[in-house]
């Protein structure tokens, strides 16, 4: 009887068997032994009770399991987007999570002497981060730039833009710095983002004329998602020489990751744009606040001028202005067409 009962327990759902199977068997065995001591009438009553209740319990547990699975699916549907998939969600979030979380984690491990900065593991993780971002960008390009790949493109364009401007600054014959300085700090620092600006203007022109870029006409926020991918690199530049910036980097990237998540989930174009713009602004604000807090503790600053923090904040502010300008530029044609249609309606 005990073996038969143990066999029947296999009719319960797998998870239920794992959780209660052993207990059910033990309690059944003990109850059966007790009934045996009280006589056959008790045994018959016990077995009939068990056999009558068992099918009911099995059906009940299977239904409960299905309800649980349904709830899990319902929870999962929270990550399904207007169009796209969970894969899209994960790949779009990946650069923000990877760069934002892995870098501070590695620095913390090095600072707590769990790893050395020259260790194979640290270098290996660094190579993995860069390689995985590069591979995903290539996959995105090969697939015709799906939505998830746009921040990767923005990240790559930003690196290219900054590298080009650095190269131009290094060319002493051009005397670029001397030429831009009279125009103000915003213009000099804006030079880093000039390449990205040009790339975005070209993409916008392509979106208006090329059939292959039809997608960007249908959803203009896609263009805005490209420079958003450059914000992580802007944050890295902002904190370039700083030490102890890990918490601020972490929170800035958390904000950017949340912005991406909300962007992918939102159905309304203006809300999507607002989310990206807001997240970029908040991330830069956290960076600026972090610099003000960290500045007095930096050992590279030989002399802390009362105005030093203003200069540092202004640098971040200038970066924000340029990123904001580029993001607003992508929405400008849509803004103009809306005003035009409103005028016609009036």
Place of tokens 């009280």: 38
Choosing from 2, 4, 14, 26, the residue that interacts with other proteins (CB under 8 A) is: 26
Distance of CA 137 to the CA centre of its chain: 15
Nearest distance, CB of residue 79 and other proteins, angstroms = 24
Alpha-carbon gap, residue 329 to 203, rounded angstroms? 11
Give the binding range for other proteins (CB under 8 A) out of 55-63, 78-86, 289-297, 333-341.
Answer: 55-63
> What's the count of helices (H) and strands (E) in the chain, helices before strands?
15, 0
Minimum CB separation of residue 192 from other proteins in Å reads: 49
Tokens of 315: 């640098």
Q: Residues with Cβ < 8 Å from 98, sequence gap 6 or more?
A: 129, 132, 133
Q: Least distance (Å) from other proteins to the CB of residue 2?
A: 12
Q: Does 38 bind other proteins (CB under 8 A)?
A: no
Using CB under 8 A as the binding rule, whether residue 93 contacts other proteins is answered as no
- Give the H or E element holding residue 142: helix 120-142
Q: Are 206 and 333 in contact (CB under 8 A)?
A: no
Task: State which of residues 1, 27, 63, 141 lies at the interface with other proteins (CB under 8 A).
Answer: 27
Rounded CA separation 174/95 (Å): 35
31 binds other proteins (CB under 8 A): yes
State which of residues 43, 54, 313, 325 lies at the interface with other proteins (CB under 8 A). Answer: 54
Tell me if 248 contacts other proteins by CB under 8 A.
no
Instruction: Report the SS3 class of residue 119.
Output: coil
Six token digits for residue 252: 């800035």
The DSSP secondary-structure symbol of 210 reads -
- Which of 13, 43, 61, 185 forms a contact with other proteins (CB under 8 A)? 61
Contact positions with other proteins (CB under 8 A) in 6-25: 16, 19-20, 22-24
For tokens 């960076």, what's the residue?
287
Minimum distance from residue 26 beta carbon to other proteins (Å): 5
Q: Which of 13, 43, 50, 102 binds other proteins (CB under 8 A)?
A: 50
What's the closest the beta carbon of residue 258 comes to other proteins, in angstroms? 25
Q: With contact defined as beta carbons under 8 Å apart, do 260 and 270 qualify? A: no
Strands (E), the chain: none
Site for other proteins in 205-234 (CB under 8 A): none
Which of 37, 40, 41, 56 touches other proteins by CB under 8 A? 56
List interacting residues with other proteins (CB under 8 A): 16, 19-20, 22-24, 26-28, 30-31, 45, 49-50, 52-54, 56-58, 60-61, 64
């Amino acid at each position: 009887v005990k073996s038969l009962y143990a066999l029947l327990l296999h009719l319960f759902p797998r998870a239920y068997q794992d959780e209660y199977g052993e207990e059910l068997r033990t309690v059944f065995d003990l109850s059966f032994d007790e009934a045996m001591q009280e006589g056959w009438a008790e045994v018959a009553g016990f077995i009939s009770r068990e056999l009558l209740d068992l099918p009911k319990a099995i059906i009940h547990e299977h239904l409960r399991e299905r309800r649980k699975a349904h709830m899990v699916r319902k929870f999962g549907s929270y990550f399904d987007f207007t169009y796209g998939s969970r894969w899209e969600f994960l790949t779009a979030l990946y650069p923000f999570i990877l760069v934002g979380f892995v870098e501070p984690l590695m620095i913390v491990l090095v600072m707590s002497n769990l790893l050395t900065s020259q260790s194979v593991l640290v270098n290996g993780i660094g190579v993995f981060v860069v390689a995985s971002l590069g591979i995903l960008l290539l996959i995105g390009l090969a697939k015709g730039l799906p939505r998830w790949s746009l921040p990767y493109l923005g990240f790559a364009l930003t690196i290219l833009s900054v590298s080009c401007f650095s190269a131009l600054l290094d060319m002493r014959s051009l005397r670029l710095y001397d030429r831009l300085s009279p125009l103000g700090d915003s213009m000099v620092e804006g030079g880093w983002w000039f390449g990205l600006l040009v790339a975005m203007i070209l993409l916008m022109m392509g979106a208006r004329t090329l059939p292959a870029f039809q997608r960007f006409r249908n959803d203009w926020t896609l263009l805005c998602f490209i420079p958003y991918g450059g914000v992580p690199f802007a944050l890295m530049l902002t904190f370039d020489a700083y030490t102890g910036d890990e918490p601020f980097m972490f929170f800035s990237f958390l904000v950017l990751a949340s912005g991406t998540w909300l962007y992918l989930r939102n159905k309304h174009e203006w809300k999507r744009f607002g989310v990206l713009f807001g997240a970029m602004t908040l991330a830069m604000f956290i960076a600026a606040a972090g610099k003000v807090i960290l500045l007095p503790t930096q050992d590279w600053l030989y002399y802390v001028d009362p105005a030093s923090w203003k200069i540092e904040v202004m640098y971040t502010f200038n970066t924000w202005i340029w990123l904001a300008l580029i993001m607003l530029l992508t929405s400008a044609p849509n803004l103009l067409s809306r005003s035009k249609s409103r005028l016609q309606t009036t």
